[in-house]
């Protein structure tokens, strides 16, 4: 056991208790953090990428409402323009119009995906089915991330890769006719799954996939089904794709990104009074695992489903300040909360008792080594945290968090620790909050909008 007491000790706490009204201390009034507002979050990053790419292969004019306009989304738009697709500028609060083509044109430049692993992996899947050679690269962070997970199965399908390192960008891809594949994925990953399904789409061949542990987000499957493609999951966990549909121009609205919403949910839970309403958030079951974990920790969160957007369930979230308690996140839950783990770990540092996040080694190969960064930054602000193998252990505490946070340019690390400034008395200095624009443009402004300090008396 890491610290005295351990997991068993947390059972003494009441998981349904709340701190909606705090009792002021005697003497001078102390400020309280109040949360309020009815706000929206940026469009879903995963869905925006996929709609842009699919619209690029739809001959005709498609309209995407409320897309994410972050740096990552702009990377996908930029590479599509280099492939001969006409895309209007991505503007906050606006729509984007895409005039696609039946097949991409050979680019005259190296395709630069910036910091976006989704742009790189999904586009390589589509490009593998095209009869030309293309080079793909990214920024320093993306060039460190593993690519063998997609190059190996794409090579078995018939694509050819070259580059200094077969497991890293930059890569040179020679696409062409592909053959069907049965592939047991090394890790459960929506990017790997989406890449191979898109390869089958572009090359008109069957693809059968099996995820080893848990179900990753299923946006690709939902979108392909909406175009008439057969994407079935059998009783043994195999996803079976048949290229029997047809891409046609569309007019769809992107739901709010639940991963972005997680940071505002976290800020609301850490406040002392009030209530926050988040409107039009995607409620896809493969994306809302973090809500179930937070409710288990005592979080006062209610979701109300309102309808469907882009084939996805959408609704509103109501969040109240809450007293949180430690929990265990087992490996079966990790795949569904991989992007929300930084926020969950930060909240665990404010909870009663110990929390354990088990088998989260996949965090090591995200935009940074998130596993090490989370532990070191938690310690830097005065919390107790440690990495044991692939497990992250966090001990909750009540002292105001104070210290400097190193992000290494990781947007989710930056936003998670900035949320801790909602705690009265906090002095957390995030070294690069600007990197939040990778997924959540205007994050700082949104955080300030929902929070205010008032005297308790």
List pLDDT tens digits, range 127-148.
999 999 999 999 998 999 999 9
Q: Sorting pLDDT into bands at 50, 70 and 90, what band is 30?
A: low
**Chain CA centroid to CA 182, Å:** 27
Which residues neighbour 436 within 8 Å (Cβ) at sequence distance 6 or greater? 411, 414, 415, 418, 443, 444
Q: Sorting pLDDT into bands at 50, 70 and 90, what band is 419?
A: very high
Residue 193, pLDDT > 80, answer yes
pLDDT digits (tens, 9 = 90+) for 39-90: 999 999 999 999 999 999 999 999 999 999 999 999 999 999 999 999 999 9
Residue 164, pLDDT > 90, answer no
The set of catalytic residues is 339
Helices (H) and strands (E) in the chain, counts: 14, 25
Question: Is 428 in contact with 421 (CB distance < 8 Å)?
Answer: yes
Question: Is 417 in contact with 444 (CB distance < 8 Å)?
Answer: no
pLDDT digits (tens, 9 = 90+) for 326-366: 999 999 999 999 999 999 999 999 999 999 999 999 888 77
Residue 275 to residues 65, 82, 286: CA-CA distances in angstroms? 28, 45, 26
Token pair listed for 2? 């890491």
Q: Sorting pLDDT into bands at 50, 70 and 90, what band is 311?
A: confident
Question: Is 244 in contact with 278 (CB distance < 8 Å)?
Answer: no
What confidence score (pLDDT) does residue 92 get?
84
Which residues neighbour 353 within 8 Å (Cβ) at sequence distance 6 or greater? 5, 7, 9, 10, 13, 325, 326, 395, 396
- Report the C-alpha gap between 374 and 28 in whole angstroms: 36
Which residues neighbour 344 within 8 Å (Cβ) at sequence distance 6 or greater? 290, 293, 294, 329, 337, 355, 357
Which residues neighbour 27 within 8 Å (Cβ) at sequence distance 6 or greater? none
- Report the C-alpha gap between 223 and 367 in whole angstroms: 26
What confidence score (pLDDT) does residue 326 get?
98
Please compute the mean of the pLDDT values over residues 191-216 and round it to a whole number: 95
What confidence score (pLDDT) does residue 213 get?
78
User: 148 phi and psi, to 5 degrees?
Assistant: -60, -25
Residue 367, pLDDT > 90, answer no
Q: What percent of the chain has pLDDT over 70?
A: 93
User: 292 phi and psi, to 5 degrees?
Assistant: -65, -40
SS3 label, residue 156 = helix
Instruction: For the chain, give the mean pLDDT.
Output: 91
Which residues neighbour 233 within 8 Å (Cβ) at sequence distance 6 or greater? 239, 240
Residue 14, pLDDT > 90, answer no
Question: Is 261 in contact with 290 (CB distance < 8 Å)?
Answer: no
Residue 204, pLDDT > 60, answer yes
> Partners of 386 in the beta sheet?
393
SS3 label, residue 388 = strand
Buried b (16+ CB within 10 A) or exposed e, 338-374: bbbbbbbbbbbbbbbbbbbbbbbebbebbbbbbbebb
- Report the C-alpha gap between 323 and 315 in whole angstroms: 25
Cα torsion angle, 126, 129, 131, 136, sign:
positive
Question: Is 141 in contact with 409 (CB distance < 8 Å)?
Answer: yes
DSSP string, 205-238: --EEEE-SSSPPP-HHHHHHHHTT-EEEE-TTSE
- Report the C-alpha gap between 285 and 127 in whole angstroms: 30
Q: What percent of the chain has pLDDT over 90?
A: 81
115: how many CB neighbours lie within 10 A of its CB? Answer: 23
Nearest alpha carbon to residue 3 among 393, 358, 375: 393
Please compute the mean of the pLDDT values over residues 100-120 and round it to a whole number: 96
């Amino acid at each position: 056991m890491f610290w005295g007491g351990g997991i068993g000790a947390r059972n003494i706490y009441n998981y349904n208790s709340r701190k909606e009204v705090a009792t002021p201390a005697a003497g001078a009034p102390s400020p309280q953090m109040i949360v309020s507002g009815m706000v929206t979050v940026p469009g879903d990053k995963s869905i925006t990428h996929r709609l842009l790419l699919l619209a690029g292969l739809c001959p005709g004019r498609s309209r995407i409402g409320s897309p994410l306009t972050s740096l990552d989304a702009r990377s996908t738009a930029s590479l599509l323009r280099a492939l001969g697709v006409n895309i209007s500028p991505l503007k906050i609060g606006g729509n984007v119009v895409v005039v696609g083509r039946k097949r991409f044109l050979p680019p005259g430049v190296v395709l630069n995906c910036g910091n976006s692993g989704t742009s790189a992996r999904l586009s390589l899947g589509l490009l593998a089915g095209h009869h030309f050679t293309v080079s793909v690269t990214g920024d320093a962070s993306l060039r460190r991330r593993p690519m063998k997970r997609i190059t190996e199965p794409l090579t078995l399908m018939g694509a050819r890769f070259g580059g200094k390192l077969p497991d890293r960008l930059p890569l040179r891809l020679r696409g062409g006719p592909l053959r069907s594949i049965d592939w047991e994925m090394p890790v459960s990953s929506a990017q790997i799954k989406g890449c191979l399904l898109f390869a089958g789409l572009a090359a008109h061949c069957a693809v059968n996939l099996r995820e080893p542990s848990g179900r990753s987000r299923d946006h690709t499957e939902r979108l392909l089904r909406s175009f008439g493609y057969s994407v079935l999951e059998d009783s043994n966990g195999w996803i079976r794709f048949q290229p029997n549909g047809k891409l046609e121009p569309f007019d769809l609205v992107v739901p709010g990104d639940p991963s972005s919403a997680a940071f505002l949910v976290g800020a609301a839970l850490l406040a002392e009074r009030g209530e926050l309403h988040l409107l039009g958030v995607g409620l896809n079951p493969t994306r809302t695992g973090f809500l179930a974990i937070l409710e288990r920790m005592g979080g006062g969160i209610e979701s109300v489903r309102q309808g469907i957007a882009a084939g996805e369930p959408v609704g509103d979230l109501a969040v109240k300040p809450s007293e949180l308690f430690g929990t265990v996140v087992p490996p079966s839950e990790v795949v569904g909360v991989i992007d929300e783990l930084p926020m969950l770990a930060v909240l665990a540092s404010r909870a009663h008792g110990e929390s354990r996040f088990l088998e989260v080694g996949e965090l090591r190969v995200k935009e940074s080594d998130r596993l090490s960064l989370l532990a070191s930054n938690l310690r830097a602000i005065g919390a107790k945290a440690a990495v044991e193998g692939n497990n992250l252990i966090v001990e909750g505490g009540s002292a105001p968090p104070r210290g400097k946070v190193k992000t290494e340019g990781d947007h989710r690390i930056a936003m998670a620790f900035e949320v801790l400034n909602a705690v009265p008395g906090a002095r957390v200095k995030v070294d690069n909050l600007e990197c939040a624009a990778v997924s959540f443009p205007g994050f700082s402004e949104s955080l300030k909008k929902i929070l205010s300090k008032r005297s308790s008396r």
